[in-house]
A and B are shown apart, each in its own frame.
Chain A
Amino acid sequence: MDCYHMRVLLVVVGLVAIGGLGPVPVVAQLTEAAQDGFVPMGDIPPEDQLPAAPLLVAAYAVVWAIAIGYLWTIWRRLGTVEQELAEVARRVKSKD
């Protein structure tokens, strides 16, 4: 290897070394999450805040779902008991 090629190789190795230390990978640049230390902040930006409307809708939906679901269970249990009542009443009558 002559002197010229040696110098080219050194420049390439140097550039690679500088490149490795310098720019961070594209994936890492997408996020801005702190890695070296956390810094406190007073208020979170509006785009990070939890929206209230879905929570409100969920709360009302839960109340309705529980009320209707419970009413359905009463209706179902009442149907079963009334069926049993009719059956036992028939047995009592047949014994008489």
Chain B
Amino acid sequence: MNRRLFPLLTGLSLVIFVTAPILIVRAPYESTMGLVQKIFYFHFPSWMAMFFTIFILGISSVIYLFRRKPVADRLAVAAAELAVVFGLMGLITGPLWGIKAWGVWWQWDARLTMAVILELILVAYLLLRQYGGPGSDRLAAGLGVFAMANVPFLYISTEIWRTVHPRTSVVPTLPVDFGIPLWWSFTGFIVLCLALLTARGRLEEQRAAVDKLYLALEEE
């Protein structure tokens, strides 16, 4: 991982996150939900950042399963942890929106339940890597691919099943005034995600270097 990339990406995400509230304040209120709908500008991008990291996890896991490249495995671990972090953001901001919009913090409908299950799969991945012992890397890679396979189903779940959650089709049909702050925040989340991925990837690289040195020490 490039060491210079992290400060560059962090600085860029900071600029976007400082300017995003200005655009969010200027955006019009949604007619049925009012002020609370503005949570959408952080809620939706946090899920998109989660999906982005899950795709990195899934693709890296496939590469690791077939090519056994350690760099792919390190990237998968970093991406899985980030996916949990962004998923947590989505799972907390969602109920804060829901209590006002629906009158309840939580509803066990298809979209919300699938989101929790996906988060649990990712937590299971991390637990497996932490406590699974030898060989758990391949098993975890399989779990990473399974997590990636879940993403399209989660995304289209509101179109298939009746849920209280706003439909996925809301996003492509957004009026421009709603769209500008949303896509600006989305860019900020993706840049932040890349910055965190760079930092987390470096941590995995350093861990691998430590392991290599320990092995060298034992062999002598």
Q: Interface residues, chain A, CB within 8 Å of chain B?
A: 50, 52-53, 55-56, 58-60, 62-63, 66-67, 70-71, 74-75, 77-78, 81-82, 84-85, 88-89, 91-92, 95
Q: Give Cα distance in the complex from A14 to B92, angstroms.
A: 62
- Can you list 8 A-B contacts (CB < 8 A)? A55-B96, A59-B39, A62-B93, A62-B96, A63-B93, A78-B203, A84-B210, A88-B214
Residues of A within 8 A of B64 (CB): none
Interface string of B98-132 (1 = CB under 8 A from A): 01100000000000000000000000000000000
The answer to the question of B43 belonging to the interface, with a C-beta cut-off of 8 Å to chain A, is yes
Q: Give Cα distance in the complex from A91 to B111, angstroms.
A: 53
Interface string of B3-17 (1 = CB under 8 A from A): 000000000000000
Q: Which single member of A59, A78, A85 contacts B42 (CB below 8 Å)?
A: A59
* Contact, CB under 8 Å: A89 / B203: no
Residues of A within 8 A of B216 (CB): 92
**Contacts A58-B96, A78-B203: A70 and B35 contacting too (C-beta < 8 A)?**
no
Cβ-Cβ contact count across A and B, 8 Å cutoff:
81
* Contact, CB under 8 Å: B38 / A56: yes
Write the chain A residue with the least CB distance to B202: A78
Q: Give Cα distance in the complex from A59 to B21, angstroms.
A: 13
Q: Which single member of B97, B192, B203, B206 contacts A59 (CB below 8 Å)?
A: B97
Residues of A within 8 A of B217 (CB): 88, 91-92, 95
**Contacts A56-B35, A59-B43: A70 and B96 contacting too (C-beta < 8 A)?**
no
15 more CB-based (< 8 A) A-B contacts, given A59-B93, A63-B46, A70-B196: A50-B100, A55-B99, A59-B42, A59-B92, A62-B89, A63-B89, A63-B93, A66-B85, A70-B85, A71-B196, A74-B196, A74-B203, A81-B206, A85-B210, A92-B220
The answer to the question of B180 belonging to the interface, with a C-beta cut-off of 8 Å to chain A, is no
The B contact surface, by secondary structure, is helix
The answer to the question of B69 belonging to the interface, with a C-beta cut-off of 8 Å to chain A, is no
Residues of B within 8 A of A58 (CB): 96
Write the chain A residue with the least CB distance to B45: A63
* Contact, CB under 8 Å: A78 / B206: yes
Residues 198-215 (chain B) with a chain A CB within 8 angstroms: 199-200, 202-203, 206-207, 209-210, 213-214
Q: When A and B form their complex, which 10 residue pairs have the shortest distance between CB atoms, in order from nearest? A: A52-B35, A52-B36, A88-B213, A59-B93, A59-B39, A81-B206, A59-B96, A55-B96, A74-B199, A62-B92
